[in-house]
Amino acid sequence: MELHFPALLSRMNELRDLQGIIGLATWDQETYMPAKADSARAHQLATLQGLHHERLVDPWLGEALAWAAGQTDLDADQRAMVRVLTQERDRAVRVPQALVKALAEAQSRALAAWRQARKEKRFSVFQPALERILALRREQADAYGHEGERYDALLEGYEPGMRVARLTPVLTALRDALIPMVAALGSAPRQVPDLFKEGRRFDGEAQWQFSLRLLEAVGFDMEAGRQDRSIHPFTGGTHPMDVRLTTRIDEENPLNALFSTIHEAGHGLYEQGFAEAHYRTPLAAAPSMGLHESQSRLWENVVGRSRAFWEHFYPELSKAFPQALAGVDLDAFHGAVNRVSPSLIRTEADEVTYNLHIVLRYELELLLIHDSLPLGDLPAAWNERMQRYLGVTPPDDTQGVLQDIHWAWGEFGYFPTYSLGNLYSASLYRAAERALPDLMGQLRRGALLPLRDWLRTHVHQQGYRLPAEELIRQVTGRGLTDVDFLEYLRGKYGALYGVSL
Amino acid sequence: MELHFPALLSRMNELRDLQGIIGLATWDQETYMPAKADSARAHQLATLQGLHHERLVDPWLGEALAWAAGQTDLDADQRAMVRVLTQERDRAVRVPQALVKALAEAQSRALAAWRQARKEKRFSVFQPALERILALRREQADAYGHEGERYDALLEGYEPGMRVARLTPVLTALRDALIPMVAALGSAPRQVPDLFKEGRRFDGEAQWQFSLRLLEAVGFDMEAGRQDRSIHPFTGGTHPMDVRLTTRIDEENPLNALFSTIHEAGHGLYEQGFAEAHYRTPLAAAPSMGLHESQSRLWENVVGRSRAFWEHFYPELSKAFPQALAGVDLDAFHGAVNRVSPSLIRTEADEVTYNLHIVLRYELELLLIHDSLPLGDLPAAWNERMQRYLGVTPPDDTQGVLQDIHWAWGEFGYFPTYSLGNLYSASLYRAAERALPDLMGQLRRGALLPLRDWLRTHVHQQGYRLPAEELIRQVTGRGLTDVDFLEYLRGKYGALYGVSL
């Protein structure tokens, strides 16, 4: 076999093209696909994923990658491409086809059982299907291989390079700092009213127009992407020049559209920002889900919930909704979008309590993957931690252990990437503040492009050259830490609630 | 190699899934894709088409089809699947990869040259690129193989089973009947005014709503399909449960949206009507482009331009556009949508002159593929025939030989399928009239579902069980003929223009 890099690159291109098309078919499924196409689309996606898998595990690719790993004349990007694809391929090769099939079937059954269990509000309906998914995911983790900590093998699928030994101390310290912070905010003398439980009505078309205005302001390129509506907002697309965001409009509460737009725009800017030289290669990708999430959370929370941001945009917003926002001033609005309140549902949680929801799930996942928590005890373990961390107890399983779809999908190892996103976002923003001395002034003037461009240069254009934590270290001067995030929370919420945290 | 039908079926499913996904990517390209994704999408489509080709020519499939052809225990549908896929595969196998590549390159150059030539209004700018495309298509035809008539090998790609020896006499007779008919209508004492050159304005949203109303009336299932906008209306989609129509709204002329909607709905009903047992197999397809076109033209012209149809729908239409249609009565409207007028541009031609545009192209294509017309003489040959058949002469090549994109795409053999569509549509409608004695009354009442259901049973559900002309013979009692079409024209236009034709 005659080998040369262009042949390998061409296979990389093919794999990325297939992923792009899978992205299109998935986006379409959630936006424009007719209802009766459900089963046809499932077949089409299975065919595409099967072809992608077949091309990835193809022995030719294994030989080509092994050959390339030994070449000394490749440049740094080429070496990174070979490394990233080798990692992806090695994982794919290690899982027997029978297990892949068993997982797909178990997942499909677990999804149905989870839906039924939510209807009946009883975890026990979901339990046997979850047991099966867990058994298969443990088997898969062992097939991937690990050095003692089985959870590491699953975490690797979402956050390559991250390990339990590195993550647990950080998340535990974060938890122990957040519990008293939540308590302090709860008993603070100054409280923040909830503006959006008062029957105001926010015109849907005006929300849509304002969301487009926000996309323009953050510099999302509408000629290399678009925004549509879907039930659950997400970022998808086929290529850095074809990035597709969705949002959801709720006429009673404009915060869904506002913050999901800024959140998805953060993901979208990342995708649009990959270097042209990396297009159609494994380098046009975030090195981890946590790093991807750092971009959405930086824009949504650190920027999008800041007083400086709304100093510029609130006058526009109140003009767009003159009746609904009559009598609501900037401070009241800024307070309302940052209101801290321990609650049952993760996706509705504020910035301060959010990570306690994640730590709870992470701790339970570790126990479940270790097989050291009998599944029958899971709801009680959930409720006990909810009470201990947040001071609330779910009235039923639907508002507790059954609230997220992730476990029904078999996605163990995914939740911690949300917290990594928060921690990384604060550290990156601190680094941006050091690099852009007028950053606060720019936000106040609605000038968001300098921040976008700084992120583009230091994060997006790097693609997958480095693992996530190494990239963070390169940009911020240190790796994973809760210091920047806690400092950010203390500053922001201390001021808002008039307490010292 | 152990062979069994399910393994072959599974490969058939995979090929259809890939075609479906190519359909999605193409539809998206024309509707929602961001502008800057052009080049990325071209790569993605090339990758998908490459994979489809690779799976089709895969030697395993050849062996499996040969094995299946020898099995005696397959049912009729299974045998038809094997026959259809064998034909498709045999053609694909015969074209060397180098020729496929050369054709793709020549096509891309010819498209650019055609656009430039249209700008400069000079055929000579297009000539060298067309020469190249023609040479390659001749080579491809010889690679496909034929029994003396090279054009047959190209026709086979659009109209399997059709031959020049069968087609030429029919189209020549049609031509010779149409030329005097056009002349007689031109000198008829009663003339039909053109209502849509008078600066009326038809609200775009009202046009859109009316087009949806028409889709509902013809029984297009909006849960198994959708309608969007594109520059050129087309029918696409991924599966019979996912059929996508597009239309174009022109606020000065509602006929674009009205008739493109009914036209594409005809294609769409065909796609939605395939038998469930044929989904994801080669049988969920029309046996030819002419037969597919028969459905669009039956609905657009035979039904959609009939007086009976507008007896029901014109009151609704005039209510939707009270100002624009003020003072226009049913007869005036019906006349205007059936106005016969020899013109330069095929896509704007009426039902009577349309097929003369096609015969002209067919005759020139035969000469070009025979290599018996020097390319430098093509514009003159075009103009001479335009004068002879229609009595008009293009003032420049853009309104003459450069008007259609087909030859730049290398699509020789495609044009005649439009005329076959017209001929088949009239014959099928005649058969429907015999089977549904109250058909005219149903149209008058806006009851279009009986006709749809008759077509569904006798045409759509048959899929690709039979070649086109055999299916027509089975449904109408005879094969390809111009008798029904000419009788239809004589009846309709004789009445409208008050002449005996």
CA dist., res. B107 & res. B407, Å (int): 9
CA dist., res. B259 & res. B337, Å (int): 9
Q: How many CB atoms lie within 10 A of CB A17?
A: 24
Cross-chain Cβ contact A43/B242 below 8 Å: no
The lowest-confidence range among A80-84, A457-461, B97-101, B114-118 is B97-101
What tokens were used for B304?
Answer: 């959609």
Does the structure show a pLDDT above 90 at A199? no
Q: How many residues does chain A have?
A: 501
Q: How confident is the model at residue B441 (pLDDT cuts 50, 70, 90)?
A: very high
Average pLDDT over residues B372-382: 97
Please say whether the beta carbons of A292 and A249 come within 8 A: no
**Cα dihedral B349/B491/B436/B481 (nearest 10):** -70
Cross-chain Cβ contact A41/B238 below 8 Å: yes
Which residue in the set B36, B44, B243 is minimally distant from A20, CB to CB?
A: B44
CA dist., res. A157 & res. B26, Å (int): 32
Half-sphere exposure in the Cβ direction for A221 (13 Å, CA): 17
In chain A, the residue whose alpha carbon lies closest to the alpha carbon of B48 is A18
What tokens were used for A113?
Answer: 């059982």
Q: What phi and psi, each to the nearest 5 degrees, are found at residue B197?
A: -115, 25
CA dist., res. A422 & res. A419, Å (int): 5
Average pLDDT over residues B273-291: 98
Does the structure show a pLDDT above 70 at B1? no
All residues of chain A having their beta carbon less than 8 Å from the beta carbon of residue B48 are 17, 21
Helix (H) or strand (E) holding B384: helix B378-390
- Within 8 A by CB and 6+ apart from B182, the residues are B340, B342, B352, B353, B356, B390, B391
User: According to the model, what pLDDT value does residue A3 have?
Assistant: 82
For chain B, first and last CA: distance in Å? 65
Work out the minimum CA distance from B50 to partner chain A, whole angstroms.
10
Q: How many CB atoms lie within 10 A of CB B374?
A: 11
Q: Closest by alpha carbon to B284, among B465, B21, B61?
A: B465
**Active site annotation includes A251:** no
Determine the 3-state secondary structure of A239 from DSSP: strand
Cross-chain Cβ contact B44/A241 below 8 Å: no
User: According to the model, what pLDDT value does residue A129 have?
Assistant: 97
CA dist., res. A452 & res. A187, Å (int): 37
pLDDT digits over B358-375, tens only?
999 999 999 999 999 999
Please say whether the beta carbons of B317 and B449 come within 8 A: no
Catalytic residue among B156, B159, B264, B411: B264
Which residue in the set B37, B41, B224 is minimally distant from A37, CB to CB?
A: B224
Q: Closest by alpha carbon to A241, among A261, A260, A262, A220?
A: A220
Cross-chain Cβ contact B48/A21 below 8 Å: yes
Determine the 3-state secondary structure of A33 from DSSP: coil
B278 labelled binding-site residue: no
The chain-wide mean pLDDT, for chain A, equals 97
Residue with tokens 């397959």: B74
What tokens were used for B254?
Answer: 């509602």
B242–chain A Cβ distance below 8 A for any pair? yes
Q: What phi and psi, each to the nearest 5 degrees, are found at residue B354?
A: -50, -45
Cross-chain Cβ contact A43/B280 below 8 Å: yes
Please say whether the beta carbons of A352 and A422 come within 8 A: no
Determine the 3-state secondary structure of B237 from DSSP: strand
Indicate which of B226, B228, B241, B245 best probes the interface with A, i.e. most A CBs within 10 Å of its own CB: B241
Angle between helices B449-458 and B255-272 (to 10 degrees): 40
Q: Closest by alpha carbon to B19, among B63, B55, B43?
A: B55
pLDDT digits over B220-230, tens only?
999 999 999 99
Query: For residues A276-308, b (16+ Cβ closer than 10 Å) or e, as one string?
Result: eebbbbbbbbbbbbbbbbbbbbbbbbbbbbbbb
CA dist., res. B297 & res. B393, Å (int): 27
Angle between helices A76-94 and A38-57 (to 10 degrees): 110
pLDDT digits over A243-274, tens only?
999 999 999 999 999 999 999 999 999 999 99
Does the structure show a pLDDT above 80 at A366? yes
Work out the minimum CA distance from B100 to partner chain A, whole angstroms.
18
Average pLDDT over residues A352-356: 98
B52 labelled binding-site residue: no
B10–chain A Cβ distance below 8 A for any pair? no
Q: How confident is the model at residue B3 (pLDDT cuts 50, 70, 90)?
A: confident
β-pairing verdict for A242-247 and A225-229: parallel
pLDDT digits over B181-199, tens only?
999 999 998 989 888 877 8
Residue with tokens 């701790």: A363
Please say whether the beta carbons of B375 and B134 come within 8 A: yes
CA dist., res. B366 & res. A319, Å (int): 67
Please say whether the beta carbons of B113 and B125 come within 8 A: yes
All residues of chain B having their beta carbon less than 8 Å from the beta carbon of residue A224 are 34-37
A292 labelled binding-site residue: no
Determine the 3-state secondary structure of B12 from DSSP: helix
Angle between helices B351-370 and B164-186 (to 10 degrees): 140
Average pLDDT over residues B214-218: 98
Instruction: Provide, rounded to the nearest whole percent, the portion of chain A with pLDDT above 90.
Output: 97
CA dist., res. B235 & res. B35, Å (int): 21
Query: For residues B158-175, b (16+ Cβ closer than 10 Å) or e, as one string?
Result: bbbebebeebbebbeebb
Catalytic residue among A156, A159, A264, A411: A264
B32–chain A Cβ distance below 8 A for any pair? yes
What tokens were used for B401?
Answer: 């030989």
Please say whether the beta carbons of B65 and B86 come within 8 A: yes
Determine the 3-state secondary structure of A219 from DSSP: coil
User: According to the model, what pLDDT value does residue B195 have?
Assistant: 86
Average pLDDT over residues A173-177: 98
Cross-chain Cβ contact B34/A279 below 8 Å: no
CA dist., res. B141 & res. B153, Å (int): 5
Work out the minimum CA distance from A80 to partner chain B, whole angstroms.
22
In chain A, the residue whose alpha carbon lies closest to the alpha carbon of B24 is A25
Indicate which of A31, A48, A242 best probes the interface with B, i.e. most B CBs within 10 Å of its own CB: A242
In chain A, the residue whose alpha carbon lies closest to the alpha carbon of B241 is A37
User: According to the model, what pLDDT value does residue A195 have?
Assistant: 86
User: According to the model, what pLDDT value does residue B392 have?
Assistant: 97
The residues with which B225 forms a beta bridge, in sequence order, are B243
Does the structure show a pLDDT above 70 at A153? yes
Which residue in the set A33, A228, A238 is minimally distant from B40, CB to CB?
A: A238
Q: What phi and psi, each to the nearest 5 degrees, are found at residue A228?
A: -135, -175
Please say whether the beta carbons of B355 and B363 come within 8 A: no
ipTM of the complex in this document: 0.95
- Residue B39 CA, chain-centre distance (Å), reads 28
User: According to the model, what pLDDT value does residue B155 have?
Assistant: 98
pLDDT digits over A79-117, tens only?
999 999 999 999 999 999 999 999 999 999 999 999 999
Q: What angle do CA B272, B274, B275 make, to 5 degrees?
A: 130
Counted across chains A and B, CB pairs separated by less than 8 A come out at 116
All residues of chain B having their beta carbon less than 8 Å from the beta carbon of residue A225 are 34
Query: For residues B390-425, b (16+ Cβ closer than 10 Å) or e, as one string?
Result: bebebeebbbbbbbbeebbebbbbbbbbbbbbbbbb
What tokens were used for A401?
Answer: 């252990």
**Cα dihedral B17/B18/B22/B28 (nearest 10):** 50
B225–chain A Cβ distance below 8 A for any pair? yes
- Within 8 A by CB and 6+ apart from B364, the residues are B373, B378, B381, B382, B385
User: According to the model, what pLDDT value does residue B114 have?
Assistant: 97
Does the structure show a pLDDT above 60 at B162? yes
